[in-house]
Amino acid sequence: GLIFLHHFWTESGDVCITGHDSGPVFEVQPSSVVYPEGLSKGTVTLNCQARASPAATYRWHVNGTNVPVGDLRYTLVAGNLVISGPQYGSDGGSYQCLAMNRCGTILSRVANLKFGYLHDFSGEGQSPQTVYEGAGAFLACQAPAHYPALSYRWFVNDFPSFVKPDGGRWFVSQVTGNLYLAKAEPNDTASYFCFTTIDMDISTKSTFSKANQLTVQPDGTGVSPAIKVRFPAETYALAGHTTQLECFAYGNPVPKLRWRKVDGLLPSKAGASAEGPILTLPEMTFHDEGVYECEAYNSEGRDKHQGRINVQAQPEWLQVMSDSEVEISSELHWTCVAAGKPRPSIRWLRNGQPLKVRVQGLKPNLVNTAAQEKFQAPDFRSNPVRRLVPAARGGQVMLECRPRAAPKPTLFWSRGTELLTNSSRVTVTPDGILWIHNISRADEGKYTCFAENYLGKANSTGHLSVRDATKITLAPSNADINQEENVTLQCHASHDPTMDLTFTWAHNGALLDLEDPAGPYHRVEGKETIGDLLIVSGQLSQAGTYSCTAQTVVDSASASAKLVVRGPPGPPGGLVVKNVAETSAELRWSRGYDNHSPIGKYVIMGCSPLSSGWRTMRTEPSNIEGNAESARVVGLLPWMDYEFQVIASNILGSGEPSMSSHTVRTQQAAPTVAPSGLGGGGGDRNELIITWTPMAREYQNGDGFGYILAFRKRNTPTWVVERVSNVESSRYVYSNQSLSPYCPFEVKIKAYNRKGEGPFSQIALVHSAEEEPTVAPLRINATALTAFEMQVSWDPVQHLSIRYWRQHEREAAADRVRTAGLETTARVAGLRPSTRYHVTVLAYNSAGTGPASPKSTVTTRRPPPNRPPGNVFWKTDGSWVTVRWDHVKALGNESAVLGYKVLYKHEGQSALKVLDKGKTSVTLPLPKDNGYVVLEIRSWGEGGDGAAHETIGISTIFICQSIPFKSVKGSEQKEM
């Protein structure tokens, strides 16, 4: 590409100072990253570093738009872009770094952030294949959706029994993943599993297919070779990279394979791969282009296949532009030439932005340039030698000499009167750059560049100042910590005291951000010569190599140390479930990372539809040692779905569980327990009803589930057996016209399924349906007890119902009282005083109610007086108290008073005491403490208890005093 720029002008703003400033030049550019999809807690770092004076600032573009640096998820560390928790769909794309200062802007190469994933295989297995002995066969992998490319292996029956080449009989294509068998043998009959692995920048993931069943039947005839794995008719290879071609053939005997180049000699770099299924050609060149052939041969014949390899090359610069200085309004002529295949296109950018320019198309290897020059004697005024050039002892320094002159001047350097020429420590380049290596104090002084052309001479002088070299005086030491512990990595340095010293730290080559107060990395504040690094709450991801760099403007020194972070083990991998029995299953797994602390034991977790979550399973052995990779889970329920996980632990704790196994169902078994809740009874005449509790899912043990009932009349030998096929059934009705009422039956029940029958339950006694009573109770007698109660008696009958109603009411509105068992009396309360009642008694059972007895009639007594005893007096005498009251006189419609009831208790006691007295006074002992005697007084007679006097309290405080009788009316107390 050839570019012409006319009529230069300056822009306002910060000015790039000639001889002092320099534009950005990339030292590190970002590389493409593949990040695991769904991993939300990690980070991606895209590196970008440029040298520049003044120091460069940075911006980032993604898919041509600005990255919002400063957002919570995007952080700029030096020039590096750190993306926290990368998200598929929002963060994927093409990233470019822009480095800029006042001299200009440069744009980095494109780095792609893509997201890797590997889905599970489909749940459908392949159809079983049958092949005759001696014939060839292949099993399709049908890999799940994924990115990037997979690597393929196959294992037989059990993981990790991987398929081996076995004399060339087997081949796994790394293009399709398919498994090829050149010649089948009887012992090849087995289940085969395609095992795929995906490698990303920070993780690896594997998964495997359902079983592919292969059956080999006897035959054994010879078969000529037939190539089944064919490489493309045209393959494009990239120069400098490795290319592989695949070829594989069926045949009996097993064919041998050889490769050749049809249009020339096979490259020697093919090596041993020239006789095998994969031809490997490393570091491809244009000489490797051509037609390649694979030949398969055995004693029965041969077969061939050909294809062409075309080599392409990425663009490569043949001639590049260099920095130029021009006068305003002058013309600049720049040339850059690139070669590549296909032919490269050329694009020009100015400060990172596309430039619309006139570009001449040129052939890759021929460039004609015509420089427009203005004749001028050498002049250093616009670009003098740097006046002061600092350099470190033992290091190297570069002094530039770039005067303005046309035609090009002759340049040479001197130190004082000594003309400098190339030596072991001094290099003078044709374009006027002076290099001094292994600098010592003796090199300090003035250096002058002389420039001369036929129009004149000029010179410019700079002073080389030699400074003490920067040295690491205390290097960081290797460290070993447990997860969550803090650690300090020391780094001390000496340097020239006239310059500033700064420390930077890198982890595995990536610069660390030491300014984030919430981050894990912090500077240890102290002297300028101390740059210790504090790592807070170390995590497994922070293990690795830490590099400390002490830097001044003239030199730097570095030292590194390794940090080991010990933690709980990582998740075990490759979990498979084998040999599933009725109550057990075998688990196999592969060891995960021990994270620098030996694995002590494994625990197996399981869940089923009946469990609320993961729970610890019983195993054999019960304690699984850390070197184990298999165990048997026991105590499972038959015919139940299970998933399993394995967790490894060490002295630092338990790690993350493995990926869950595929769901497996245990084998069916006959039931082992009998249904519960066996009972029954009731129903219509001539029925035997049997009930039970339906069995829960965990006890069914298999499909085809049901119940078997057996019943017989008590004290008879023959059992009647009935089957109930519905798992949810809880009731069975047996009807027979010959069943006598309320006949006792012995009943038992058991469960069954396709695998067999379980045990019978214990025998329960269940009665057939009853007949309602047919006779009425005899010798009914009703007696009034009080104004509110009566007592009814009868001859013994089981289950009775008493009906009663008032004289002028209808019998249909009668109230009822029920009794059970063989009672012969019952009290009926809640009656009205002085009221005539009719009473009948009926027998009942579960079948109904029998006829009523003849009517009995009773009249309740008159009510008791509704007035309490009045004029209550009390008097203490030593440790006794005497209470007196007036007699209650009954009215004409009230029952006579036959006596009184005194209710009392000591304070603090819960028990009540009742005294029945025919008199109108009572003497009671006082308690020994200062409590109270609480009294209630009411009359009683034939009509029942009368109204009570209000509760009174008698204090023992008066025991030692001579006090006359007290009168109590309500809550008042008066001396009498």
Which tokens hold the place of 781?
Answer: 């007698």
Q: 652-655: long-range contacts (C-beta < 8 A, 24 or more apart)?
A: 652/482, 652/483, 652/566, 652/567, 652/568, 652/595, 652/597, 653/567, 653/568, 654/568, 654/603, 655/567, 655/568, 655/569, 655/570, 655/571, 655/592, 655/595
Residue 451 CA to residue 410 CA, distance in Å, equals: 6
Which tokens hold the place of 75?
Answer: 């952080």
Residue 960 — pLDDT band, cuts 50, 70, 90?
very low
The answer to whether 206 and 573 are in contact (CB under 8 A) is yes
Mean pLDDT, rounded, for 713-739:
94
Mean pLDDT, rounded, for 823-848:
85
For 781, other C-beta atoms within 10 Å of its C-beta total: 13
Predicted pLDDT at 956: 54
Predicted pLDDT at 10: 39
Amino acid at 297: Y
Predicted pLDDT at 89: 81
Phi-psi region of 51 (alpha: psi -120 to 50; beta: other; left: phi over 0): beta
Predicted pLDDT at 31: 93
Beta bridge partners of 322: none
Residue 347 CA to residue 782 CA, distance in Å, equals: 122
Residue 889: Cβ-neighbour burial (10 angstroms; 0-12, 13-18, 19+): exposed
Helices (H) and strands (E) in the chain, counts: 0, 90
Mean pLDDT, rounded, for 699-720:
95
Asked whether residue 957 carries a pLDDT value surpassing 60, the answer given is no
End-to-end CA distance of the chain: 137
Asked whether residue 306 carries a pLDDT value surpassing 90, the answer given is yes
Mean pLDDT, rounded, for 572-592:
93
Residue 5 — pLDDT band, cuts 50, 70, 90?
very low
Residue 95: Cβ-neighbour burial (10 angstroms; 0-12, 13-18, 19+): buried
Beta bridge partners of 506: 511, 547
Which tokens hold the place of 133?
Answer: 């002995």
Residue 928 has what DSSP assignment?
S
Residue 534 CA to residue 153 CA, distance in Å, equals: 45
Predicted pLDDT at 126: 80
Amino acid at 483: Q
Asked whether residue 515 carries a pLDDT value surpassing 80, the answer given is yes
Mean pLDDT, rounded, for 68-77:
85
Question: Residue 25: enclosing H or E segment and its boundaries?
Answer: strand 22-28
pLDDT digits (tens, 9 = 90+) for 631-670: 999 999 999 999 999 999 999 999 999 999 999 999 999 9
pLDDT digits (tens, 9 = 90+) for 255-271: 999 999 998 889 999 98
Report which of 928, 863, 850, 935 is spatially closest to residue 894, judged by C-alpha positions: 863
Predicted pLDDT at 49: 92
Asked whether residue 90 carries a pLDDT value surpassing 80, the answer given is yes
Residue 127 — pLDDT band, cuts 50, 70, 90?
confident
Exposure letters 632-644 (e unless 16+ CB within 10 A, then b): bbeebbbbbebbb
Report which of 520, 507, 547, 516 is spatially closest to residue 531, judged by C-alpha positions: 547
Of 163-167, 377-381, 467-471, 698-702, minimum mean pLDDT range: 163-167
Which tokens hold the place of 638?
Answer: 């038959």
In the block, which residue shows the tokens 């030949």? 295
In the block, which residue shows the tokens 């599970």? 120
Q: What contacts 381, CB < 8 A, 6 or more positions away?
A: none
Query: What proportion of the chain, given as a percentage, has pLDDT over 70?
Result: 91
Predicted pLDDT at 962: 32
Residue 617 CA to residue 608 CA, distance in Å, equals: 11
Kindly list the distances between the CA atom of residue 936 and the CA atoms of 339, 922, 952, in Å, as whole numbers in the listed order: 122, 12, 7
pLDDT digits (tens, 9 = 90+) for 870-881: 888 888 888 888
Asked whether residue 48 carries a pLDDT value surpassing 70, the answer given is yes
The answer to whether 251 and 226 are in contact (CB under 8 A) is yes
Amino acid at 260: R
For 914, other C-beta atoms within 10 Å of its C-beta total: 9
Query: What proportion of the chain, given as a percentage, has pLDDT over 90?
Result: 51
Phi-psi region of 803 (alpha: psi -120 to 50; beta: other; left: phi over 0): beta
DSSP for 26-43, written as a single string: EEE----EEEETT--S-E
In the block, which residue shows the tokens 């970002």? 30
Which tokens hold the place of 619?
Answer: 């195993």
Residue 205 — pLDDT band, cuts 50, 70, 90?
confident
Mean pLDDT, rounded, for 889-898:
88
Asked whether residue 331 carries a pLDDT value surpassing 80, the answer given is no
Asked whether residue 922 carries a pLDDT value surpassing 90, the answer given is no
Residue 181 — pLDDT band, cuts 50, 70, 90?
very high
Of 449-458, 611-620, 835-844, minimum mean pLDDT range: 835-844
Asked whether residue 750 carries a pLDDT value surpassing 90, the answer given is yes
| Residue spans of beta strands (DSSP E) within 861-976 | 872-877, 880-884, 897-906, 913-917, 921-925, 932-941, 944-948, 952-955, 966-969, 972-975
Of 41-45, 82-86, 408-412, minimum mean pLDDT range: 41-45
Question: How many Cα atoms are found within 13 Å in the side-chain-facing hemisphere of 491?
Answer: 27
Q: What contacts 11, CB < 8 A, 6 or more positions away?
A: none
How do beta strands 111-118 and 33-36 pair?
parallel
Q: 435-439: long-range contacts (C-beta < 8 A, 24 or more apart)?
A: 435/396, 435/397, 435/398, 436/391, 436/396, 436/397, 436/399, 436/464, 437/396, 438/394, 438/395, 438/396, 439/391, 439/392, 439/393, 439/394, 439/395, 439/396, 439/397, 439/466
In the block, which residue shows the tokens 């009390």? 874
Best-predicted range by mean pLDDT (166-170, 582-586, 894-898): 582-586
Residue 320 has what DSSP assignment?
-
The answer to whether 570 and 653 are in contact (CB under 8 A) is no
The answer to whether 226 and 303 are in contact (CB under 8 A) is yes
Predicted pLDDT at 362: 40
Mean pLDDT, rounded, for 58-73:
89
Asked whether residue 323 carries a pLDDT value surpassing 60, the answer given is yes
Residue 12 CA to residue 102 CA, distance in Å, equals: 11
Task: Give the per-residue SS3 of 655-672.
Answer: CCCCCCCCCEECCCCCCC
369 vs 386, residue with greater confidence? 386
Mean pLDDT, rounded, for 805-810:
79
Residue 55 CA to residue 57 CA, distance in Å, equals: 7
Q: 383-386: long-range contacts (C-beta < 8 A, 24 or more apart)?
A: 383/18, 383/19, 383/325, 384/19, 384/460, 384/462, 385/19, 385/447, 385/448, 385/449, 385/460, 385/461, 385/462, 386/19, 386/20, 386/462
For all residues of the chain together, what is the average pLDDT?
86
Exposure letters 443-464 (e unless 16+ CB within 10 A, then b): beeebbbbbbbeeeebbbebeb
Which tokens hold the place of 725?
Answer: 């096929």
pLDDT digits (tens, 9 = 90+) for 354-376: 876 655 544 333 343 323 335 78
Predicted pLDDT at 13: 47
Best-predicted range by mean pLDDT (172-181, 360-369, 954-963): 172-181
Q: What contacts 918, CB < 8 A, 6 or more positions away?
A: 898, 899, 900
Which tokens hold the place of 499?
Answer: 């310059």
**Which runs of consecutive H residues, i.e. helices, occur in 698-756?**
none
Which tokens hold the place of 613?
Answer: 């979550």
For 733, other C-beta atoms within 10 Å of its C-beta total: 13
